[in-house]
Chain A
C-alpha cells in the first residue's frame, strides 16, 4: 500500500528533484508484437519483465513464464471453512447451546442445515476469490511509477506495453530499447520513480490520527460498560410496548365525562371474587379491625372443613407462592432467599423459619392475616390467593410444623402403634 492517495500526477515533464530510475517501458500497437518482444526479452535473461495490456492476451503467461496462481486453493479453503463453520454453528446453536425443539423435529438434522451451510460456503469462497485477487495482485496500490508516464495512459484502452524494472541484474536500458524496437515498439522511454516525498502529508496524518482516535471511542465505551455495573436501566432507544400511553390508577383522564381514569363499580353488581362471605373467613379475625398480636379475637381454628383435598390444595399453593422465599420445608431457605444472600443484597430480610416457636404459637387467624396483608418485608397475597386457598395454606403449614415438632400425644394411639412398629 502506498503512502499517498492521489492515483496519478498529471504531468511528467518536470524532472523530479529526487527520483531514481524505475525501469523502461516500450509501447506496441498489437498483441502479436508484444508477444514476440516479450519472448525475445525473456530469452535474453530479463527476469523482472512485465506486460501490460487492455485485455487478457493469451499466450503471454507462457512468454513471461508466469507460474499458475494458487488462488484456487485459497478459494477451496474459503469454501471448506464456510461449509464446516456453518454446519457446526447451526448444530451447536440449535442443538447444544440452546436446544430448540420445533414440532418434534430432531435437534440436529442434516437436511435442514443444508441451505445455510451451502450459502455460507459460497459466501466465504467468494470472499476468498475477491480478496485473493487483491492480495495476490498487491492491490490496492494507488500510486505506481507507471502512472507517472504519459504513454501508459493508453495501455488500459488500446495499446500494449512491456516494462522492464531497473533492479533486475540483467537490466540494460539500451538493450531493452534495441530489442523492443526490433519487434515493432512504437516508443520506448524510461520510467522515473519519485522518491522525494515518501512521508505522508501532515494534513492526511492529522486526519488519520483523529479518525483512529474517534473510532476508538465506541469500543472504549462498550468495554467500560461491560466492565462496570450500573444501577440505571439499560438504554431504551426503541420503546416498543414497554412504555405505553396509559392512565394509571387514581389519576384523572379526559376520556370519561367524570374525569376519572378508573371506573366506579356499577350499582347492584358484585366484582369478581368479591362475593360477600363471612367476614371472619375472609379476614381471620372477629373484630372490626385487625387486633393486636396477642388478642383473643384471632380465629383459633380453620373455619372451613379440613379435608385431604384441602390439604393437597394447600401444599400446591404453598409450593407456588410461599416456597420461593420460605423454602419447601418452610425453613426460610427458598431460592430467592439463597440468591439474595449470595449477592449480599443489602435490603433483603431473611424470612424467619416457619418452625420457629413464635410462628407455631400464632393462632390460625393470625397466620391467615399474615398471608393476606403481609408482614415486615413480605407483601400481602390477598390479590393473588383466594381466601379458601389461604386457609388451605394455613392448614398445610400446620401439617409442615407438625412434621418437625409433633409430640407422641398429638398422634392417635393406633397410628402411634404402627409408627413404633415400622421404626
Chain B
C-alpha cells in the first residue's frame, strides 16, 4: 500500500534480491496468507502452545488478584529499591513494542518496501507487548482501583494531576502509543479483513470478518483516502515512536539519582528499544514463517536486513554504555562515578556483565554472514539480545536504587516468587494474544505485498 509508484522490475534486472520468492501471483499470495486462518482443522501444535500460554496468562491474572487482595508487599520491592521488577518489566515490554511501529512507520516513510511482508506481524507484536507493559505500572501504583486518578477529570477533590511529573507524561505517552498503534494496525488490516470476508464459507466467519471489514469494497476512492491516511499516520507515528521511549527514559533521567540523571538517556533508551524490538521480531518471525509456510513471503532477505538493524543498534547501545562511563568520569561528580564503578564491580556486577555480553559482544556475530542466513543461529543471537535488554533495565533500575546517597539504607534487592512468576505470566499473555492473532487474523499484509510484487501486473499510466 505504498504511496510510491512501483517501478516495474524483474528479478534478473534488480540489483537486490526480490521482495518475495517463487512465482508469486495475486492469487497465490491471497492463498498463502488466507489458508493459515481458513484451515478447517487447527493444528495440534497450536493447541499445545495455546494451552501453555493461556495457563500462564491465567496464573498472571491470579497473581494480580492475589497482589490486589494482599498488597504490593508480595513483590520484592522494599526500601531502598521501590522500583523493582515491575518497572524493569514495564520498560522491557515497552521497548519490545517499539519495533512494530518503527517498521510500519519509519521504514514506510523511508520507502523501504521490504517492510510489507513483516509489518503486520511486527505491529501485532507491538500491541501485545504494550498490553503486557501497561499491566505492570498499573498495579505498581498500589491501589489499582484508583488508577483513574491519573486522568485529568473533574473530581470531588477539586484537584488535577501534576503535569510536571514525568510519571504523568508516561501515562500520556504509553496510552497514546497503544491507541495509535492499534489504529494503525487496524486501518492497514481492513482491506485484508475484506478479503477474508469475501472468501468466507461459513456464515459465522462471514459475519465476523464482515463486521470488522466495515464494508470495505476496495474502490478506487476508498483506496485513495486509505493510502493518504496511512501515509499521514506513518508520519504521525514516526515522531511518536521516538517520543515514547524518550518519555519513559524521563521517568529516570528527570530524577537526580546517580546513574539516572543523564542527558544521554533519551537517545540511549530509544536505540535500546529498537534493538530489543527487532530482536523480538526475529525471535518470533523465524519460527512463525517456518510453521505457517510463509517462507516465500518472508524471505532470507527480510531476516538479513533485520539482523543488520540489530547489529547497528547493538553498536549504538554499546556506544551509550561507554558514553555513560565517560560522562561519569568527566563530570567530576563522585556520586556519579561511584554509581558506575559500582555497576561494574559492585554486588550486581554479574548482571552488568551479562548485559554487556548479551547486548554488545554476542550481536557482533552478525558481522558474519552465516549468522544472518542461518535461521536458528540468528534466533539464538536474538534471544541473547532479549535477555541482555531485560538485564539492561534491571541494571539501570536496581543498581542505582540499591546504592543511593544514604549508605545506611543500602540493601541488596531480592525478587520474590511472585515477581518471577508474574514476569513469566506476562510472556504467557503475550503469546496467548499472539497465537490468537496467528490463528484468526491475516499475518501478512496481503494488499501491501501485492503492490510490491517483483513483476507487478501494473504499468505506469
A contact residues vs B (CB 8 Å cutoff): 2, 5-8, 10, 30-32, 35, 50-64, 66, 69, 71-72, 75, 79, 89-90, 93-94, 97-98, 100, 102, 105, 109, 112-113, 115-116, 118-120, 122-123, 125-127, 129-130, 132-134, 136-137, 139-144, 146, 152-158, 163, 237-238, 240
Docked Cα-Cα span, A120 to B199, in Å, equals: 39
Across the interface, do B458 and A156 meet the contact criterion of CB distance under 8 Å? no
Residue from the set B145, B232, B457 with the largest chain A CB neighbour count within 10 Å: B232
- A58-B5, A60-B220, A157-B30 are contacts. A133–B225 as well, Cβ < 8 Å? yes
- A58-B460, A66-B220 are contacts. A139–B195 as well, Cβ < 8 Å? no
- A58-B5, A142-B211 are contacts. A129–B217 as well, Cβ < 8 Å? no
Docked Cα-Cα span, A130 to B183, in Å, equals: 7
Q: Which residue of B lies closest to A86 (CB)?
A: B172
**Chain A residues, CB < 8 A from B143:** 238, 240
Across the interface, do A55 and B198 meet the contact criterion of CB distance under 8 Å? no
Q: How far is the CB of B163 from chain A (nearest CB, A)?
A: 4
Task: Say yes or no: is B383 at the interface (Cβ < 8 Å to chain A).
Answer: no
Q: Which residue of B lies closest to A50 (CB)?
A: B219
Docked Cα-Cα span, A158 to B224, in Å, equals: 19
Across the interface, do A119 and B243 meet the contact criterion of CB distance under 8 Å? yes
Across the interface, do B226 and A137 meet the contact criterion of CB distance under 8 Å? yes
Q: How far is the CB of A115 from chain B (nearest CB, A)?
A: 4
Pick the contact of A30 from B162, B199, B457 — CB < 8 Å?
Answer: B457
Across the interface, do A139 and B214 meet the contact criterion of CB distance under 8 Å? yes
- A66-B224, A119-B176, A157-B26 are contacts. A7–B206 as well, Cβ < 8 Å? yes
Across the interface, do B159 and A129 meet the contact criterion of CB distance under 8 Å? no
Across the interface, do B236 and A125 meet the contact criterion of CB distance under 8 Å? yes
Across the interface, do A55 and B447 meet the contact criterion of CB distance under 8 Å? yes
Across the interface, do A71 and B228 meet the contact criterion of CB distance under 8 Å? yes
Docked Cα-Cα span, A122 to B203, in Å, equals: 39
Docked Cα-Cα span, A59 to B459, in Å, equals: 9
**Chain B residues, CB < 8 A from A71:** 225, 228-229, 232
- A6-B207, A52-B217, A115-B172 are contacts. A72–B163 as well, Cβ < 8 Å? no
Q: Which residue of A lies closest to B212 (CB)?
A: A140
Docked Cα-Cα span, A136 to B210, in Å, equals: 19
Across the interface, do B163 and A58 meet the contact criterion of CB distance under 8 Å? no
Please list 29 pairs of residues, one from A and one from B, whose beta carbons are closer than 8 Å in the complex, sorted by A's number.
Answer: A7-B197, A7-B210, A7-B213, A8-B198, A8-B206, A54-B218, A54-B447, A56-B1, A58-B5, A58-B461, A59-B460, A62-B461, A69-B224, A71-B228, A89-B152, A93-B152, A94-B160, A100-B162, A119-B240, A120-B176, A122-B237, A129-B183, A129-B232, A133-B187, A133-B226, A136-B225, A137-B222, A155-B218, A156-B195
**Chain A residues, CB < 8 A from B217:** 52, 144, 146, 152, 155
**Chain A residues, CB < 8 A from B6:** 58
Docked Cα-Cα span, A75 to B231, in Å, equals: 11
Docked Cα-Cα span, A360 to B206, in Å, equals: 92
Docked Cα-Cα span, A59 to B228, in Å, equals: 15
Q: How far is the CB of B410 from chain A (nearest CB, A)?
A: 26
Pick the contact of B220 from A61, A109, A112, A113 — CB < 8 Å?
Answer: A61
Task: Say yes or no: is B124 at the interface (Cβ < 8 Å to chain A).
Answer: no
- A8-B210, A116-B168 are contacts. A142–B163 as well, Cβ < 8 Å? no
Docked Cα-Cα span, A55 to B220, in Å, equals: 9
Across the interface, do A126 and B191 meet the contact criterion of CB distance under 8 Å? no
- A32-B458, A57-B458, A139-B214 are contacts. A119–B221 as well, Cβ < 8 Å? no
Q: Which residue of A lies closest to B193 (CB)?
A: A156
Q: Which residue of B lies closest to A64 (CB)?
A: B220
Task: Say yes or no: is B315 at the interface (Cβ < 8 Å to chain A).
Answer: no
Q: How far is the CB of A130 from chain B (nearest CB, A)?
A: 5
Docked Cα-Cα span, A97 to B195, in Å, equals: 52
Pick the contact of B450 from A54, A60, A115, A237 — CB < 8 Å?
Answer: A54
**Chain A residues, CB < 8 A from B385:** none
Task: Say yes or no: is B395 at the interface (Cβ < 8 Å to chain A).
Answer: no
Task: Say yes or no: is B15 at the interface (Cβ < 8 Å to chain A).
Answer: no
Task: Say yes or no: is B348 at the interface (Cβ < 8 Å to chain A).
Answer: no
Task: Say yes or no: is B448 at the interface (Cβ < 8 Å to chain A).
Answer: yes
Q: How far is the CB of B99 from chain A (nearest CB, A)?
A: 19
Task: Say yes or no: is B223 at the interface (Cβ < 8 Å to chain A).
Answer: yes
Across the interface, do A143 and B198 meet the contact criterion of CB distance under 8 Å? no
Q: How far is the CB of A230 from chain B (nearest CB, A)?
A: 14
Across the interface, do B164 and A102 meet the contact criterion of CB distance under 8 Å? yes
